[in-house]
Structure 1
Amino acid sequence: MLAIFLAITFGAIFAGQTAINAQLSKFVISPFLASMISFIVGVVFLTITLFISGSPIGIPLDLLVNQPVYIWLGGICGAIALTINILLFPKLGSVQTTIMPVLGMTLMSMIIDQYGWFNSMQYSFGLSRGVGVLLVLIGVFLAIAVQDKPPQLSKTFQEGLLNQWGWRLIGVMAGMLLGIQVAINGQLGKVLHSPTQAALISFFVGTIILIMIVGIRDRSYINIKEPIRQSAPWWIWIGGILGGSYVLINVYLVGQIGNGQTVILLLFGQITGSLIVERFGLFNSFKKQIMPIQIFGLIVMLAGVILIRVF
């Protein structure tokens, strides 16, 4: 019972990370800089956690030499996906910024399972998974289509609708990157015999990449002090802690209740959290009314994910 409570709670808390990072982006005037700050905070948090647990931080040299290059690069996918989510949040809102990446992540995980990419265990595409994908697609449609019904199809609306679908497609792509990151980090955790150490490496690599991107694109890190100068709320800095905590609780729960149940319960928590964030406009986000058909769509989507992950 405690494991179920933790999974749903931390899934809901994690849903707030994107909203927090989106607000941070407004202060630093750069989604890349906001992502960089979040990753740095996550690295510090995970490093402290490893020290407290007594786990090693260093990597044996033979592992660096003998393992494929991709196994160390999961953090790149995470850095890109997190930055995309920050861009998506003001465009699509909390619910859609959650469900579009979930759709992409689900589809990519099925492709990875089908072909056994990244040394993952191979699972063939069966009837239950096919039905699960169909339910996920129907759920996504129900959850977002209600927002696309205008009183009249003006040219301006049509352009805005096309633009929204463009952002939704980008959200699916971000989710696919997250699916790749999960597979890579899972393999790295097996090699290192420490999922937490694998998470730290992923965060560290993502941090280095984002530091380079900010240096090349923004050519300055000076805006990092803007939240302090403008007296931003304290919670603006904790996105990385939420991300790091999510990874840690994920590792703990997999050992307690298994991977399938962990993913489903965390996803249920994320969907619930995104509804709460959007309904009440938490973390200074835009408040939207949640329609019953959207909730039904999310339930259908969750049922599809259960079919894909369990059967």
Structure 2
Amino acid sequence: MGVVIGLQTSINSRLRQSVGSPFMASLISFTVGSGFLAVITLLIDHRLFFTPHLFSQQPAWLWLGGVFGVVYLTGNILLFPKLGSVQTVILPMFGQILMGLLIDNFGWFHAKVSPFTTVRGGGALLVLLGVIVTVALSDWLLKRRAALDAAPTTTASASLWLWRLLGIGAGMLGAAQSAINGHLGLVLRSSLDAAFISFFVGALTLLVINLLLRSSRQLTQPTDRPNPWWMWVGGVIGALFVLGNVYLVPILGTGLTVVIVLVGLMGGSLLIDNFGWLESQRNPVTLVQIVGLLIMVGGVALIHLA
């Protein structure tokens, strides 16, 4: 799941180049994913949606998974120009790991309780250290000479710290989405129904955002070559990712599911960079990045053993 979501990021980035707006690209992705899940749900469960009385019987947060997913996605879009690529990766991941441990420890969103232990905490720190080594240390080594020649930087402003807190908060909502959708699947007794509803709510949320922002609806061809067919399938990958989360969270718990997916995401991103898949710029994987990925795997093993 983590590996394929890395592919979705590259696919949606290419779609954004053609439609001109990140919010419109996200809307198309969510709409395609909703349609895909609707077809699969009708074929297997022979129904969509649910009985209306569930609105009065279940807590309001049960229907917010799709909204949280949109906030997480939009947060990454907004963070990149403010904080750069490294912090945009690390801060939301830190938020996801932190929220995953909190949800498991306190049983929030009716999640399976897995009390916090020193071993689990050490495993989470190892995963975060692996992310830092894979992303930040590798980036620092590439830019070390430029950093030494640059003038000393001033202390980060208060607004910059607010953006960093936003990044952590967006990551926490991403983990909350996994827990909420997992419980929604149990309530509806169908992982497919839960994934469809989450995507459908996300698509409606993005439709409202695009209408308010009056996003461009013009399709362009940013290169001399025709737009590739695969730029339209990001929503299918995202739908399978959400469906996988709905299925795994009740079995593994939110914390373990989140960190395993993060390891897959980092591994998939390194594969895309190394081979230049999906028209991305080729950046060969370094030994430092491989070491960082192995540290993350060790952290996952510790959490699992706990």
Superposed pair shares fold, TM > 0.5: yes
Partner residue of 2:148? Answer: 153
Structure 1 distance, partners of 2:298, 2:92, is 17
Q: Which amino acid aligns with 1:37?
A: I
Structure 1 distance, partners of 2:67, 2:246, is 20
1:145 CA displacement: 1.5
Partner residue of 2:229? Answer: 234
Q: Which amino acid aligns with 2:11?
A: I
Partner residue of 2:293? Answer: 298
Structure 2 distance, partners of 1:276, 1:131, is 27
Number of residue pairs aligned between Structure 1 and Structure 2: 295
Q: Which amino acid aligns with 1:190?
A: L
Within the alignment, does 1:208 sit opposite 2:208 as a pair? no
Residue 51 of structure 1, aligned match among 35, 38, 42: 42
Residue 187 of structure 2, aligned match among 183, 188, 191: 191
8 Å contact from structure 2 (residues 126, 295) kept in 1: yes
Gaps of 5+ in 2: none
1:139 CA displacement: 1.4
Partner residue of 1:119? Answer: 110
8 Å contact from structure 1 (residues 72, 202) kept in 2: yes
**Deviations 1:204-236 (Å, cap 9, x if unpaired)?**
11111111111112x14523x336998311111
Q: Which amino acid aligns with 1:14?
A: I
What secondary structure sits across from 2:220 in the alignment?
helix
1:275 CA displacement: 0.7
Structure 2 distance, partners of 1:140, 1:165, is 20
Q: CA 1:170–1:112 in 2, change beyond 3 Å: closer, same or farther?
A: same
What secondary structure sits across from 2:49 in the alignment?
coil
116-125 or 105-114, which moves further after superposition? 116-125
Partner residue of 1:71? Answer: 62
Within the alignment, does 1:177 sit opposite 2:173 as a pair? yes
Within the alignment, does 1:281 sit opposite 2:273 as a pair? no
TM-score (norm 1): 0.81
Partner residue of 1:82? Answer: 73
298-307 or 208-217, which moves further after superposition? 298-307
Within the alignment, does 1:259 sit opposite 2:248 as a pair? no
What secondary structure sits across from 2:41 in the alignment?
helix
Q: Which amino acid aligns with 1:296?
A: V
1:62 CA displacement: 1.3
Structure 1 distance, partners of 2:140, 2:160, is 9
8 Å contact from structure 2 (residues 24, 217) kept in 1: no
1:58 CA displacement: 2.6
Structure 2 distance, partners of 1:164, 1:27, is 30
Structure 1 distance, partners of 2:252, 2:77, is 27
What secondary structure sits across from 1:61 in the alignment?
coil
Q: CA 1:176–1:157 in 2, change beyond 3 Å: closer, same or farther?
A: farther
Gaps of 5+ in 1: 1-9
8 Å contact from structure 2 (residues 72, 173) kept in 1: yes
What secondary structure sits across from 1:27 in the alignment?
helix
1:237 CA displacement: 0.6
1:268 CA displacement: 4.5
**Deviations 1:111-160 (Å, cap 9, x if unpaired)?**
1112221122222211111211221232122212231241143447958x
8 Å contact from structure 2 (residues 178, 245) kept in 1: no
1:34 CA displacement: 0.9
8 Å contact from structure 2 (residues 127, 295) kept in 1: yes
What secondary structure sits across from 1:56 in the alignment?
coil
Q: CA 1:42–1:98 in 2, change beyond 3 Å: closer, same or farther?
A: farther
Q: Which amino acid aligns with 2:303?
A: I
Q: CA 1:140–1:264 in 2, change beyond 3 Å: closer, same or farther?
A: closer
Q: CA 1:252–1:119 in 2, change beyond 3 Å: closer, same or farther?
A: closer
TM-score (norm 2): 0.82
Q: CA 1:36–1:299 in 2, change beyond 3 Å: closer, same or farther?
A: same
Q: CA 1:250–1:220 in 2, change beyond 3 Å: closer, same or farther?
A: closer
1:305 CA displacement: 2.6
184-193 or 243-252, which moves further after superposition? 243-252
38-47 or 19-28, which moves further after superposition? 19-28
Within the alignment, does 1:272 sit opposite 2:267 as a pair? yes
